[in-house]
Each structure stands twice: as structure tokens, then as C-alpha cells.
Chains A and B, each alone.
Chain A
């Protein structure tokens, strides 16, 4: 009875539905997802007066435990001391150190190249956290707060609800959304259209506003990857910039507001986006 109530709610949250026919009918080939973050468009949501919308959207989409941020908007300084903002999700490395070190095979790549965690296998050894050069993983030291009804949900690594104590968590590129032909929550919520979801197989990417040829977009805009020299082959590219497309000055000293948790935003399984706009 309870599970029956919980399942439709989770489907509404975009959590447990199967890949739609539409997302697969066009091509039988497997997607190979990537993210491209255009830093020319990212200004940390400072001009909007709101906290970073990508972080808040992620918080409510996954009911991210309080105190964690699966995508973080880092304030960086260039060589001249000027600032820019760098959203940092999991890099979904092709040669992922976290996958290599996991002693129980809990971290793995799915067929679309996304690094997932099977929390039923995770033993909480945190070797993966030590191995990750990007600091993209977080640990549930205590029992995280789950939304009502989540305990009866049918857990999937693509949408790890409920969250479990003693396990490692991270961004999984909204695998439950991309499988259904949707943008990840962060890309969907970005008011500046700075986050592109791309597919290496079809060489195409979109930010929800325009469609670009991925390889050309990366090459023409001098895209780079973080700590590429480590050989991890990250699947997140950055186009260098400092929010100039929206008029942000490099001397702007304003910093992003603190993102609100899903509890503060009032998200529930029935109303996953709560008050988040």
C-alpha cells in the first residue's frame, strides 16, 4: 500500500521511470554523455540575486543530504587575481580512479559512461574519496534525512533515494533524467544557459536553448578539462571565461549566496521542486 503510493510519487520526481521510447527510437546507439560548462556565461547567479540555481536544483532533484553539494560553484582566481566562478560537478572520468580503487565494485561506469555508485554494495571504506582528484565525493557520516515515503522507494543507482548512512555519494549526471531524454537538473535550472549536455556518440550538445556541434564548440572556444594531466579523461569540459557574456566585470567582488537545502526549499516527493524556481 505504502510502496504503491510512493512509486508514482517518485516517478513524478523523475526518479524511477524507465527510458522513454522517444529517447531511444531515434538512434539505437548508446549515448556517451558529457557536460560542457561555458564560464563566459556563468556569473555565479550573482546578478540574479539568488543562490546558484544549479546547486539548488540539484539539491531538490536528489534530496541531497544537508551539508552536501554534489555540484559546487567554486570562486576561483586567475593569475592576475581576478575572479571567476567554476561549477564543479563529478567529472565522470573515463579512467576514473574511484572506480579503480573500489574494493567491492560499488563504483562503476554504466553503458553511457556515467560513473554510478551502487549503495547496496558500498561498504563505506572511502577509498574512492581519497582517490578522486576533484573532491567530488561526499560521505554520509550519519543517517541522512530522506523525504517522507522515500524509505519505501525502489532504490536504483541512477536515482539513489533513499540515502543510506555509511555510504559515499556524488553527482551522477542525473542519469535518471538523461535516460529519459531530459537535461540534468543543473543544466535545466541554469538561468544563463551556461551548462550544456553533450553526446560524444552523435557529436552534439545543447543547453536547452541552442544545439551545437560538440567537437566544433569545444575546439573553437578553447575548452579545457580540469587536471587533465592526471590522465583521468574527465567528461566535463570548461569554456574559459568570467561571466562576460552577461556583463560581469572581473573586478566584481560579489560572491554567490549560500544555496538552500531541499528542506529549506520545501521539496517533497510529490512536489520535488518545492519552492525552487
Chain B
């Protein structure tokens, strides 16, 4: 009995060792512990990514490293972006060959990674694929973040207010290259909602400054500043309120096209002119169409009347000529 159990245990250990060290099994497919990341290295070569497809399981903590490995293009530079997870690497080139992004693959599906720069090999570097299989045994959790927003002023008279954003992890370390969005709580034509009014990315110190320029006229500008989570970091948000002390300037003023307003009475004539004259001028210039037509019609009628009058006068003159001779 003891021998049988020992034999089974030995067999299980053998199978485990075989599974771990068997050369045919790629590393990224292995189940990872919550704290130990799945490390994947992708070479960026002259003909594309190697490997071009990376597979992980949902919930795993992943370290994806891009390695600059060009042979014929020593001047190439790349910034790799992982779409869907909104992540990007630092720039890699011949001097700085490696860049790593860490993230928790919390969403299943197929996502692309590609070069975001306009490089020589651009078309070859647009087809990297990250496959995140659903389920999986990964149980990595995101690191909480702390977002702090400091406005440069509590009120606005229509001019811009600088909002300084600081994003940190619980240990006080900066969260860099994180996209922070700004939403304004507003109502328009009966619809209430959060309107996205801006977005900004934090720098290496986890800091960002964004200028809020109000366009909506409302007494209170309640801004929700939100970091939606990225990589290994969890989401966080803060709300700031800026009071409006005067109406902000219009965001758009229609450019004149030439016919919006009637031409005004010249200043020299308007000075001292009675109100009725100014009003008459305004009316006349506003109604140039009917006035022109009326003038033309009256002119034609006057010309015809004149012609008829002349004709009648000529006729009557001819009749009266003999009487003059008398």
C-alpha cells in the first residue's frame, strides 16, 4: 500500500517536472502565481515580431518585454503600444534596447500590439497579437492608486483654471504614463450627464497639469477627474468644484458673411440725424429687395405715363397748330 502511494507521488513529481522543463511547451502558456509574473520577451526584428503571437491566461500578471533586435536597420526607433489595454512602452532603439510593460490580463480576447512611430519597418510591425484566454488560474489583483487634484483657483471668470493631477501608488511611488480623464457634470437640453472635457497623461513623476477652460455657463463646475486603471494599477477618481463668477466667453462666434446686418448710416450723417431718419435708413437697407422692385415698377410706370403724355400732347399740338396761324 505504502509502495503504491509512494509510486503515485513519484509519478506525479515526474509528470510535473516533465511539464515544466519539456522544451516544446512555451513559457507564457504556463499558469503563473498571483505574485510571479509571466515573463514574455518579444524581439523586434527586421521582418517583424518574434514571436508574433503571445498567449496568456486571464487574470495573470504579465511582463511583456520588447527587445530591439534589428540587423539591417540600426537607426530604427519604436514605441510599442498594446491596444485594448491602453499601454505603451518607452522608446527603444540601438542604445536603449529593451522596454517592458507590466499589466494584469484581466480582459479576455485578442489584442494587437504594434509600433506607434512612423518607422522604416512600420508595416511589418503592425501585427503583433496578444491572446488572453478566458478563465485561467491567474488571480493577480491590481494595485490601488491615489489620485489627488489641485485646482489653481476655486472660481473662474471664464478664464482657464490649471488642474494639477498627482497619481501615486499606496507606497507613494509615481504612476507614470497614466491617462487621466476629466468629466464635467452638466445638463444640456434636458439631458444630464458627464461630459468628457479633456484628458492628460502623467509624466515620470506621476504628475500632469491640464487647463480647464469653461465653455458651459453654469454656476458650479463639478469636475470628476478619473483614472480608469491601467496595467497593474486600479482605478481612482476625485471630484473638484469650481464656481463660476461670470459667464465664460462663447466658444464660437460666427464669422460674418456680409449680409447679416444692414449697413449702418455713416457716422457723419448719423450725427445729429433724427431717430426716424436712422430707422428709415435701417428699414430701407433691410428691405432693399422690395424697394428695388417697387422702384423699378414705379419707374416703368412713370416712363410709360410720360410717353403717353408726350404722345397726347403731340396729338393735341398738331390739332391746335392751324389755330395759331390764324
Contacts and interface: CB of A to CB of B under 8 A. Distances in A.
Contacts of B289: 102-105
Interface in B182-211: 186-197
B22 interface: no
Nearest to B216: A202
A204 B188 contact: yes
Nearest to A29: B250
Interface in A78-137: 94-95, 99-100, 102-105, 109, 113
A203 B217 contact: no
B190 A211 contact: no
Nearest to A103: B289
A27 B217 contact: yes
Contacts of A48: none
B191 A32 contact: no
A210 interface: yes
Interface residues of B, number: 31
A183 B190 contact: yes
A210 B286 CA distance: 41
A197 B189 contact: yes
A176 to B, nearest CB: 14
B217 A181 contact: no
B293 A103 contact: yes
A213 B223 CA distance: 14
A26 B286 contact: no
A75 B287 CA distance: 40
Interface in B232-291: 247, 250-252, 254-255, 257, 259-260, 286-287, 289-290
Interface string A167-204: 00000000000100111000000000000010111111
Contacts of B247: 27-29
A206 to B, nearest CB: 4
B108 interface: no
Given A94-B254, A103-B290, A201-B252, A26 B189 contact: no
B217 A29 contact: yes
A16 interface: no
Given A103-B293, A202-B217, A204-B215, A32 B193 contact: no
A212 interface: yes
B218 interface: yes
B290 A206 contact: no
A219 B21 CA distance: 53
A148 to B, nearest CB: 30
Contacts of A215: 251
A205 interface: yes
A143 interface: no
Contacts, number: 94
Nearest to A101: B289
User: Size range of the interface on A?
Assistant: 35 or more
Nearest to B193: A211
Contacts of A29: 217, 247, 250
A105 B189 contact: no
B252 A105 contact: no
Contacts of A204: 186, 188, 195, 215-216
Contacts of A207: 191
Contact of A211 (B194, B251, B260, B287): B194
B103 to A, nearest CB: 25
Nearest to A215: B251
Given A26-B218, A204-B215, A212-B196, A183 B286 contact: no
B197 A213 contact: yes
A103 B250 CA distance: 33
Contacts of A221: none
Contacts of B287: 105
A216 B196 contact: yes
Contacts of B286: 105
A178 B196 contact: no
Contact of A209 (B191, B196, B250, B255): B191
Interface in B287-302: 287, 289-290, 292-293
Contacts of B292: 103
Given A103-B289, A104-B289, A211-B194, A202 B251 contact: yes
A208 interface: yes
A200 B186 contact: no
Contacts of A206: 188-189, 191, 193
Given A104-B290, A105-B286, A211 B215 contact: no
Contacts of A104: 289-290
B248 to A, nearest CB: 8
A100 B257 CA distance: 10
Contacts of B252: 32, 200-201, 203
Interface of A: 26-29, 32, 94-95, 99-100, 102-105, 109, 113, 178, 181-183, 197, 199-213, 215-216, 233
Given A94-B254, A202-B217, 11 more contacts: A26-B218, A32-B252, A32-B254, A105-B287, A182-B189, A183-B189, A200-B251, A203-B216, A211-B187, A216-B196, A233-B257
23 contacts: A26-B218, A27-B218, A28-B247, A94-B254, A94-B257, A99-B259, A103-B293, A105-B286, A105-B287, A105-B289, A113-B254, A183-B190, A200-B252, A202-B215, A202-B250, A202-B251, A205-B188, A208-B189, A208-B190, A211-B192, A211-B194, A212-B195, A216-B197
